[in-house]
Amino acid sequence: MRDIFFITGTDTGVGKTFVACQLLHAAQQCGLRTLGLKPLAAGAEKMDGEWRNEDAVLLQEAATVKLPYASINPFCFELAAAPHLAAKKTGATLSAKTIAQNVRKVLDESEFDYCVIEGAGGWRVPLNDTETMTDVVKLLQIPVILVVGMKLGCINHAVLTVEAIKADGLTLHGWIANDLGHSMPLLAENIATLERLLPAPRICLQST
């Protein structure tokens, strides 16, 4: 049996990649073959003659199943902007169906036990005029892990994101409180409030 999870966040910059890598390391320690994917990324630099996103590279390095970069991050754009705008700058058009098909192909052709698929930005990041990253997860029908960046306003962002995940008919497997190092006042109390409000268990990592 293979476990596959989609990693989303309450916002961009809340530590999705850090958490995804920690999950991969934890699964590896349990003896599992691990795979990390980031199908869509905006913000890249040229490495070995191709555009590569730093977060996708970290996932590639953290996984035990080694795949070519293009399999891990098939849609990669140089401009660090909302993905639909970064794509438009290059003349490309994104679609949920195409992204999901690419993910399914990699999953079908790879031998693994545990996989995390990291999204881009938050839950409602646009792909085009009518679709968001949410539509990719709907097509894949996989459970979601929410990364909550612990900062002022995160309770509201977390509750709204969970409500959206539920409204989209998807399963929240769990959530992770990621300490961003901002010396958040009443950090423990905020985490306790989230534990009371969010209808899924908190996943505790050694580094969180």
- Residues with a known catalytic role: 38
Q: Is 156 left (phi over 0), alpha (psi -120 to 50) or beta?
A: alpha
In the DSSP assignment, the letter for residue 87 is H
Q: Which single residue is written with the structure tokens 């599992």?
A: 32
* 153 closest CA partner among 132, 134, 173, 180: 180
Beta bridge partners of residue 46, listed in sequence order? 51
Neighbours of 85 (CB within 10 A): 12
Q: Is the dihedral of CA 189, 21, 6, 31 positive or negative?
A: negative
Q: Which tokens hold the place of 197? A: 């409000």
Helix or strand run (H / E) with residue 41: strand 40-42
Residue 181 burial class via C-beta count within 10 angstroms: exposed 0-12, middle 13-18, buried 19 and up: exposed
